[in-house]
């Protein structure tokens, strides 16, 4: 596990975008795993800027998103379909046919989940998976539980997750109680994983991800077993880690 710590969210976002851009430059038909939530927004802004500057081309890129709320219409402005269009896809030259997001409105949810994993596998697998992390250490919507979920599945959201996400809705009651998420196993199959965390409220989850017991009670802890994981943190999210375990970068220019 490589841990990179920046002084602030802006630098963290720029670095994450640089890593994703490098992946696309190296392999124009890359398969990207994408995430929603507030953390990746800065990364997407930087990617859009690089696209506008002609540095990256998304025309051959394929994407798979981690999750989607169950039974929230895709034109609802809180759906992750809406989020992705608004924060990334509407601003780049991605081929819409190459975009994959679980369909929370599917009539046959079991089939939707089964199919999602199949399409990922048939694409050759995810080259780089972008992740945020919940305060409860969830990745995607894999909430703390007694077993690691291997495959894409429907999940009942933790109350803590619904409360954390209520800030995007007008009330807690409006936050869906269920979602479809790629399983921990589906995420783990990605060739490279890039996890971003910003802010003090993520410090404990990051501590447990890095040093804790590997357990489905801390879903992100499974990443300790993955051979190619980069954590990009700001100083607040890294505040419980031991300095010796990471490199601190103050200036993005140092990594150019
Ligand atoms: P956040 O969510 O980026 O909005 O903090 C992350 C997550 O819940 O995975």
Active site residue 143: yes
Strands 62-65 and 67-69, sheet pairing: unpaired
Residue 64 has, within 13 A of its CA and on its CB side, a CA count of: 29
Residue-wise pLDDT for 101-157, tens only, equals: 999 999 999 999 999 999 999 999 999 999 999 999 999 999 999 999 999 999 999
Mean pLDDT of 11-40: 97
Tell me the CA–centroid distance for residue 132 and ligand 1, in Å. 5
Mean pLDDT of 171-175: 95
Active site residue 236: no
Is the distance from the beta carbon of residue 36 to the nearest atom of ligand 1 less than 6 Å? no
Is the distance from the beta carbon of residue 134 to the nearest atom of ligand 1 less than 6 Å? yes
**pLDDT of amino acid 248:** 80
Is the distance from the beta carbon of residue 133 to the nearest atom of ligand 1 less than 6 Å? yes
What's the CA gap between 65 and 94, in Å, rounded?
A: 14
Contacts of 117 (CB under 8 A, 6+ apart): 151, 152, 182, 183, 186
What's the CA gap between 241 and 171, in Å, rounded?
A: 35
**pLDDT of amino acid 249:** 78
Contacts of 243 (CB under 8 A, 6+ apart): none
Q: Residue 69 pLDDT more than 60?
A: yes
**pLDDT of amino acid 84:** 98
**pLDDT of amino acid 254:** 52
Q: Residue 41 pLDDT more than 90?
A: yes
Q: Is 50 exposed, middle or buried (0-12, 13-18, 19+ CB in 10 A)?
A: buried
Q: Which of 117, 143, 234, 236 is catalytic?
A: 143
Residue-wise pLDDT for 189-246, tens only, equals: 999 999 999 999 999 999 999 999 999 999 999 999 999 999 999 999 999 998 888 8
What residues does each domain of the chain span?
2-249
Determine what percent of the chain is predicted with pLDDT higher than 90.
Answer: 94
Q: Which of 127, 138, 142, 208 is catalytic?
A: 138
Fold of 2-249: Rossmann fold (3.40.50)
Q: Which of 136, 149, 165, 208 is catalytic?
A: 136
């Amino acid at each position: 596990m490589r841990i990179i710590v920046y002084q602030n969210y802006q630098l963290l976002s720029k670095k994450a975008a640089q890593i994703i851009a490098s992946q696309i430059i190296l392999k124009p038909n890359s398969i990207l795993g994408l995430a929603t939530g507030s953390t990746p927004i800065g990364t997407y802004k930087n990617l859009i800027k690089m696209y506008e500057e002609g540095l990256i081309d998304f025309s051959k890129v394929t994407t798979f998103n981690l999750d989607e709320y169950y039974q929230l219409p895709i034109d609802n402005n809180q759906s992750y379909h809406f989020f992705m269009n608004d924060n990334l896809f509407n601003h780049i030259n991605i081929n819409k046919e190459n975009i994959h997001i679980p369909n929370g409105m599917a009539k046959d949810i079991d089939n939707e989940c089964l199919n999602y994993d199949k399409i990922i596998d048939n694409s050759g697998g995810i080259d780089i998976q972008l992740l945020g992390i919940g305060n409860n250490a969830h990745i995607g919507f894999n909430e703390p539980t007694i077993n690691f979920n291997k495959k894409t599945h429907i999940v009942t959201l933790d109350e803590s997750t619904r409360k954390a996400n209520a800030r995007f809705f007008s009330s807690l009651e409006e936050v869906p109680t269920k979602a479809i998420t790629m399983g921990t196993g589906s995420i783990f199959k990605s060739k490279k994983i890039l996890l971003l965390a910003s802010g003090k409220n993520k410090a404990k989850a990051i501590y447990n991800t890095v040093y804790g017991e590997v357990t489905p009670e801390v879903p992100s802890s499974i990443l300790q077993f993955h051979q190619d994981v980069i954590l990009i943190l700001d100083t607040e999210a890294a505040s419980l880690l031991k300095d010796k375990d990471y490199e601190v970068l103050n200036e993005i220019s140092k990594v150019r």
